[in-house]
Amino acid sequence: MEELGIRIGKGAEADLYRREDKVSKVRISKAYREPLLDQHLRRTRTRREARLLSLARRAGVATPYVTDVDNQTFTVEMSFVPGEQVRRLLPSLTREERRELCIRIGEAVGKLHSANIVHGDLTTANMILHRKRIYFIDFGLGGISDAVEDKGVDLLVFKKVLHSTHYRYEEECWEGFVEGYSNTYRNSAETLERLRVIAKRGRYFPERA
């Protein structure tokens, strides 16, 4: 693995290596998984990620450049994006800055959904702020879809991350997000309504809400 560079991160499903201005994301095998399922997930997610990173950029959302894909080793090589994870950044911002940032996240997601790109894992850990642009990464769970349901689930994932991880300023972030999203995505009202319906299906949706 030396030619990939130095390991700079170990996520849940992949190892990250850096060499100069490139990052290689290697989806590693999981010992706990049935081998056929393991292969299938790594293959489809590697392909999807490479494809969606490019499509998202074409839709006007900042992403790293894909420079190589290896379907044998389940590796996507892309440009290195310095900067800070939105997850780590949010707590250090002022109320106004946070709102501003969430509006821009909402706008980016609005652009993705306008292009029928569903991210699949919209967490603040998958957004990097670099030179005032928000880069989106980790499209492995994403897809192309024009279904309201899929976009609604995308929003639900983001909303839940605010609830579990950014609970101290959850509401202001969500309001900002909805503002940005509504300004950029034509069918935002329908998707936001579906989000409510999906949440209600859940096992623990509050009775009086």
Partner 1 sequence: MEEITCLGIEGTAEKLGIGIVTSSGRILANVVRQQALKAQAGIHPREAAQHHAEHVPQVIRAALKKAGISLEDIDLIAFSRGPGLGPCLRVAAVSARTLSLSLGKPLVGVNHCIGHIEIGRLLTEAEDPLTLYVSGGNSQVIAYDSGRYRVFGETLDIAVGNCIDQFARRANLGNPGGPIVEKLARKGKYFPLPYVVKGMDLSYSGILTAAVEALNKHPVEDVCRSLQETVFAMLVEVTERALAQTEKDEVMLVGGVGVNRRLQDMISLMAEEHGAGFYVPPRDVLGDNGAMIAWLGVLMYRSGVTHELMDTTVIQRYRTDEVEVKWRS
* List 2, 3, 12, 95, residue binding partner 1 (CB under 8 A): 12
Residue 131's region, left for phi above 0, alpha for psi from -120 to 50, else beta, is left
How far apart CA 32 and CA 126 sit, in angstroms, is 25
| C-alpha dihedral sign at 166, 85, 49, 53 | positive
Please check whether residue 128 is in contact with residue 137, taking contact to mean a CB–CB distance below 8 angstroms: yes
* List 7, 88, 163, 186, residue binding partner 1 (CB under 8 A): 163
* List 164, 171, 196, 197, residue binding partner 1 (CB under 8 A): 164
Q: Which stretch binds partner 1 (CB under 8 A): 48-56, 70-78, 119-127, 186-194?
A: 119-127
CB of 198 to partner 1, least distance (A): 7
How far apart CA 148 and CA 196 sit, in angstroms, is 12
11 binds partner 1 (CB under 8 A): yes
39 binds partner 1 (CB under 8 A): no
88 binds partner 1 (CB under 8 A): no
**Measured from the CB atom, is 133 or 163 closer to partner 1?**
163
Residues in the chain: 209
CB of 178 to partner 1, least distance (A): 18
Please check whether residue 60 is in contact with residue 104, taking contact to mean a CB–CB distance below 8 angstroms: no
**Measured from the CB atom, is 44 or 182 closer to partner 1?**
44
Query: In the chain, where does DSSP find H-type helix?
Result: 35-58, 86-89, 95-114, 148-165, 170-184, 188-201
Residue 74's region, left for phi above 0, alpha for psi from -120 to 50, else beta, is left
CB of 131 to partner 1, least distance (A): 26
Question: Across the strands, what pairs with 75?
Answer: 26, 70
Active-site hit among 70, 121, 146, 150: 121
92 binds partner 1 (CB under 8 A): no
* List 52, 76, 122, 162, residue binding partner 1 (CB under 8 A): 122
Residues belonging to the active site: 121
In the complex, the residues that contact partner 1 under the rule CB under 8 A are 10-13, 30-34, 36-37, 40-41, 120-123, 125, 141, 153, 156-157, 160-161, 163-165, 167, 198, 201-207
